[in-house]
Amino acid sequence: MLLRRLPQVQRLCARRAFTSKTHYDEKIVYQYASQQLKPVSIGQLLKYSQPPLTPANILDSVAYTQSELPVRLAKRVISFHNLPFIVGTNPHIARVYNQYYEAFDRLYSFAPIDSIEREWEFARALERQTQLLVDVIPTIAQGFLECKQYMKREERALFINELIRSRIGLRVIGEQHVALSYQFRDQQRSSLEDVWVGAIHTKLLPASMMRQCAQLVQNMCEMHYGTAPSYYVDGDVDETISYIPSHFEYITCELLKNAFRATVEFSRQSHRLAHPPIQITITKGEGYVGVRIRDQGGGIAKDNMRNVFEYSWSTMQDDETSTAGMSLQTNLAMQQGIGGPIAGLGFGLPMARLYAGYFGGSLDIVSMEGYGCDVFLKLRSIEGSVEQKQI
């Protein structure tokens, strides 16, 4: 009987362990977490595409943002309560739990916004809160690394996937309102700025973005290895897409880091005198843009192909040294954004696929072992998924 009740007892103990460190009213969190989500459609995000923005527009946007974000934050808080006791009390996982709890407390405590002046106060607080949650993923990565023996691989992946998807939704909703708030206060916008609807760029040029990202990653590669391959962009270089630039940048930088790193390391292994260039090809389709990144970095071993989109806990060495020759702590600390290490901790590809799929895109890899990889990224224009996608 005692053994059958153990999981329940552990969950209750985990909840006490979490809340004993805080003064928050747990009943309020459960009250918000029990509410239904109110998904926002892409059409709603784009409904203020015709300037100028009005006070009514901003108050309408903040009303939804203020009502929805605490509910989503509360649901994440409760998800931590359901972790096994020993996992939930890990200091890194407990830290993320407290960050979500504190974010919920800050946002739910705002009285209903009824003026532009108070909206600005809320928008600034929301902007600061978004920055405070920037290190959630590397911290969670470290926590689950230390607790990997206490949860099944599938359970870890499910929790992390749900956390990341929720995080994307929180950031899209929050950053969209913050951007609209700033744009409202800059009504003398130039024609160039009119391509922005909040955080969404309606005429994003993938070729230009790829050149910027490739230059950044090339610099990272040179700093880390002392050498780097060249790159070039071809195909439909004048094609545009409606997308969130920060999402595009994150996905492509992760893919390019893999390509540059593999090329340099394979050159060393094969005693190749010169690095073959990274080829980046842009293609256009009906409502989407395709990006192919082709490298000659030796490809992926056949036995590893089925695992490339899983969180690669097994690649982290027990001596806390990563494959890039950097300490685990350094890798985790640097992997907060696009400026991460040239070799990551196994979160890059699965997270890139989640980001790509969030708006109806896809990410696939074709490997020729001993030669290189072709990575195929398909990004659907946000405007093309107005009716289908809800956040």
Distance CA 78, CA 21 (A): 16
Write down the pLDDT at residue 191.
Answer: 47
Q: Are residues 123 and 210 in the same domain?
A: no
Cα distances from 98 to residues 24, 92, 95, 127, in angstroms, run 10, 10, 5, 18
Write down the pLDDT at residue 181.
Answer: 93
Locate 22 and state its tokens: 């805080």
User: Does 216 fall in a domain?
Assistant: yes
Distance CA 87, CA 148 (A): 9
Which pLDDT tens digits describe the chain residue by residue (391 residues)? 433 333 443 444 444 444 444 444 688 999 999 999 998 887 788 888 777 889 999 999 999 999 999 999 999 999 999 999 999 999 999 999 999 999 999 999 999 999 999 999 999 999 998 888 877 888 888 888 888 889 988 898 899 999 999 999 999 999 999 999 998 888 755 544 578 888 999 999 999 999 999 999 999 999 989 999 999 999 999 999 999 999 999 999 999 999 999 999 999 999 999 999 999 999 998 889 999 999 999 999 888 888 888 875 433 343 333 333 333 333 433 344 443 444 455 778 888 999 999 888 999 999 999 999 999 999 998 876 545 677 8
Last residue of a domain, one of 196, 226, 244: 196
Q: Are residues 217 and 281 in the same domain?
A: yes
User: Does 341 fall in a domain?
Assistant: yes
User: Does 391 fall in a domain?
Assistant: no
Distance CA 374, CA 295 (A): 7
For residue 156, the 8-state DSSP code is H
Write down the pLDDT at residue 15.
Answer: 44
Q: Are 113 and 66 in contact (CB under 8 A)?
A: yes
Last residue of a domain, one of 196, 215, 249: 196
Q: Which of 171, 175, 177, 173 is nearest to 62 (CA)?
A: 177
Q: Are residues 255 and 167 in the same domain?
A: no
Report the Cα 179 to chain-centroid distance in Å: 18
Q: Are residues 23 and 129 in the same domain?
A: yes
- In single-letter form, the type of residue at position 271 comes to H
Q: Are residues 280 and 146 in the same domain?
A: no
Q: Are 38 and 391 in contact (CB under 8 A)?
A: no
Mapping DSSP to helix (H, G, I), strand (E, B) and coil, where does residue 361 land? coil
Q: Are residues 147 and 255 in the same domain?
A: no
Domain with 50 in it: what CATH number?
Answer: 1.20.140.20
Number of domains in the chain: 2
Last residue of a domain, one of 161, 196, 231: 196
Q: Which of 64, 66, 78, 63 is nearest to 31 (CA)?
A: 78
Distance CA 374, CA 118 (A): 50
pTM of the model: 0.83
User: Does 31 fall in a domain?
Assistant: yes
Distance CA 373, CA 192 (A): 37
Residue 286 phi/psi, 5° resolution?
Answer: -75, 95
Q: Are residues 83 and 53 in the same domain?
A: yes
- Count of CA atoms in the C-beta half-sphere (13 A) of 173: 26
Domain with 236 in it: what CATH number?
Answer: 3.30.565.10
Q: Are residues 211 and 243 in the same domain?
A: yes
Range of 377's domain?
Answer: 202-385
Distance CA 295, CA 36 (A): 45
Q: Are residues 184 and 208 in the same domain?
A: no
User: Does 7 fall in a domain?
Assistant: yes
